[in-house]
Structure 1
């Protein structure tokens, strides 16, 4: 017997069968079966084996909402694994001239011993209540790890047409393998395809469905949010009382504004696990410029020019005391010994110029290359007594250090916790007291694990890539001298800025999107991996380093020059945001309310790409720019105007969604929905290459992405999120719509 797609070998398995199927009805022309060893399936339950590559893909049979699957069994093997055995059926079809339904069967016993097998007794096909037995074989004995392989013949004059289905049972000892089959017509050949299949488990405890576990976690998170809102209310009430007392004591005036907020914030750790933390933020701001001249009992409320110590600003000093009191009275119960706590201290200055260096008194020693974040970008700062203070960045950083010293000395709960301090400097581009601010953000990691252990016990690795678009990437012989920039931002932080803070949650699967896109660029599109600038969790400085600034040539321009490339790809997955009607890409520490200083304008990226000495630019963004995903304060008037490049003839631009739509996730696949369909289009050549010429053009790609009937983003988003949800990919292209995207 010839087995399509399988390698022949002379090895003999542990049992020998000269003829697996023996039939007394000579009219059918008996065939003997050769016995060949086969691979042991690694699948936990059931799945496909591709006959060209021997690659196995599993189904999640415990998930009742698993997508319906159809496949041509002449191209795929169907595998069923039960506790004692597994069997594989393949090359399924009906032979009208013989009145016979046939398929190839492989059987292996994994547990037990000396199981007898006869095709007539062990294989049954049921159609509409009628039973059809296989033609008999001689009785064989199957031992542990022994394998049977051969052709099964079932006399059957009917075919499976339209909605007709059949159930195939293969009994191996105590295991009863069940395959639900449905017919699909391909010309004259009647072939069978899989419909939702649920194996008959034997003594196997069914796992709890992931969706149920997620629902339990979501319910617990809602309770944690309710508790946190109560804490926020208590903190605001306590703050109001303390501020009133300080004003009565003439230590603060009405012009000092102090606020406190608390919220539950999910964060993605470096290992990809999601944790739910309590974040409490304190903001203090002196509202009026004239208050620099206003004396109160203990000095000025605002920091005088060039000053940075707590004692020089009553607003900052009294706020530090408020932080101590509220943490000890309301938050200490969540800070057990060893609790991870992150404290972010933000010092802000205006743009008042330094005409001369200001003396530094050495209160914190000479500072050399201390790590900090300035306007959303990571950097280093140095200050010493010899050179003094000559920049607003230095001044803003110093204003955070005395607050850190105060908290270390005076907050008892922090002495037993594992506290990590981060320093942020915010420098405005305007002059005014309102830009001289201080803020402290306290994050208590896994604050709810005692009261709601189901939150802490739920483990989701958002960086895990196991879907079919990650593991079955088509490899072509294409070679390209193109260069690429690939950025995926998952781990967004609660941002800071002159307009206050905005809750920016993680884009869970953006790093996955970027990593898989890089794989497709290399394996499918043929780029050299050395020609790809790849960055995950990029901040504003990373964008500036890659694309360049007015004063600095970017890494991309240097790469284009060194390679002589004439084509550039730019792929981005992460948060976008509308600011003044223009789209911005957010770094992981960018504040949406301070986009001009902390984020990167998409229009500026287009200008840089337009200016490069290249012929083609391909831009793909899996981000929405409605603002609704980040802050519910966004209104319809804030929806973005889609920018146009200066030289549109160079460009093909694919965007995940319309201007007023979300860019949704495909949680089950751990990808952005748009990115998943993009990868699927490159993988699914049979559907995406519409004219069958072995080339996927940008026009064909967009038609696949925007399909509303079976495979596109608009179709899948309704399947996943409901009929009321819309997501329509957008393409901006001129004469390049028929250009090659993938050459197979």
Structure 2
């Protein structure tokens, strides 16, 4: 073999141990019989690198049944296809799944969960849902409000204002077509809610979950959005830092943040006390999202803004 003699067993077989490097290799085999006749052949061997992809478990929204919150209310929004900007991959799938987590994990009655997706999540639809559906049902000092948003976000050119893009959001007319995050929070806080928790699978840097950008001329420079202070009864769990991109997982067909958020709400983020606080959930996300994002060649660090002791779910 490759010029080295190899002992042949009585049954005509032989065993050789040798290292094979990654890529294509060729091994030359030659055999000589008792009459001195030689036959030669060449064998090509290809060694592939081991896959680094981790198999991620499917979501199981019925796995956990949190304590009932009869006065709680949830607004769930997911927008994948936009009128005038690139798609937000798997965003509507995120929202449809989160609907069940709002009921099963957060304990919100199904009759008090509203789902808006796609063309049904234009700016007027979202504002109407807040002003004419959500606010009238809030019991002052008693209702916990949850808002889930999966889709695009964008910061103003100076980075001072953060916006969530509805289906008809226009990047050139943010004030007129998008939802300013602070105003969205204020609308809910002013209604007298006991608490308001926002789960935001979006980013404000001008990028998308794919390789496209939202900013003009596909500029490679991302907008550095500034942090916004929030009221004491508001907690925000956000997908990424203000200068980072929010990624998606093709394997699970979910946003990276949304997938692990929901896995955490299945109980994986809880401790022995059967309670998931915002801080526990953020720690769970921070231990997983950066590593998965690195496999995609990106940097993504989930953010917690507000009270980390806020109880998100318990059972």
Q: Please classify the TM superposition score into its range, dividing by the shorter chain length.
A: 0.7 to 0.9
- The 1:472/1:65 distance shift into structure 2, 3 A limit, reads farther
Task: Give the ranges of 4+ consecutive aligned residues of structure 1 lying more than 6 Å apart after TM superposition.
Answer: none
- The 1:546/1:635 distance shift into structure 2, 3 A limit, reads farther
Deviation at 1:738, TM superposition (A): 2.0
Deviation at 1:493, TM superposition (A): 2.1
Q: Is the 8 A contact 1:540 1:587 kept in 2?
A: yes
- The 1:727/1:479 distance shift into structure 2, 3 A limit, reads same
Q: Deviations over 1:661-707 (max 9, x none)?
A: 1000011100000010101112253xx224x1111111111100111
Q: Is the 8 A contact 1:493 1:506 kept in 2?
A: no
**How do 1:587-598 and structure 2 match up within 5 A?**
587-598=166-177
Task: Supply the RMSD in Å over aligned alpha carbons.
Answer: 2.3
1:602 aligns with 2:175: no
1:556 aligns with 2:145: no
Give the counterpart of 1:640 among 218, 222, 225.
Answer: 225
TM-score, normalization by structure 2? 0.75
Distance 2:66 2:260 in 1: 23
Distance 1:605 1:565 in 2: 20
Distance 2:138 2:92 in 1: 25
1:682 aligns with 2:265: yes
Give the counterpart of 1:484 among 71, 74, 88.
Answer: 74
Distance 1:729 1:704 in 2: 10
How many residues align structurally?
255
Alignment correspondent of 1:524: 105
Alignment correspondent of 2:236: 653
Distance 1:684 1:603 in 2: 30
Distance 2:181 2:220 in 1: 20
Please state whether the residue corresponding to 2:173 is helix, strand or coil. helix
TM-score, normalization by structure 1? 0.33
**How do 1:468-483 and structure 2 match up within 5 A?**
468-469=58-59, 471=60, 473-476=62-65, 478-480=67-69, 481-483=71-73
**How do 1:508-523 and structure 2 match up within 5 A?**
508-523=89-104
Deviation at 1:547, TM superposition (A): 2.7
Q: Is the 8 A contact 1:514 1:573 kept in 2?
A: yes
Which has the larger displacement, 481-490 or 630-639?
A: 630-639
Alignment correspondent of 1:622: 201
Relative contact order (alpha carbons < 8 A, sep ≥ 6): 1 or 2 greater? 2
**How do 1:412-491 and structure 2 match up within 5 A?**
468-469=58-59, 471=60, 473-476=62-65, 478-480=67-69, 481-491=71-81
Please state whether the residue corresponding to 1:507 is helix, strand or coil. coil
Please state whether the residue corresponding to 1:492 is helix, strand or coil. coil
Uncovered stretches (5+) of structure 1, i.e. residues with no partner? 1-62, 70-466, 495-503, 549-553
1:700 aligns with 2:277: no
**How do 1:72-221 and structure 2 match up within 5 A?**
none
Deviation at 1:622, TM superposition (A): 0.2
Higher strand share: 1
Give the counterpart of 2:289 among 682, 689, 713.
Answer: 713
- The 1:591/1:716 distance shift into structure 2, 3 A limit, reads same
Uncovered stretches (5+) of structure 2, i.e. residues with no partner? 1-49
- The 1:559/1:729 distance shift into structure 2, 3 A limit, reads same
Q: Is the 8 A contact 1:483 1:565 kept in 2?
A: no
Please state whether the residue corresponding to 1:649 is helix, strand or coil. coil
Distance 2:149 2:180 in 1: 13
Distance 1:477 1:486 in 2: 18
1:535 aligns with 2:116: yes
Distance 1:536 1:479 in 2: 25
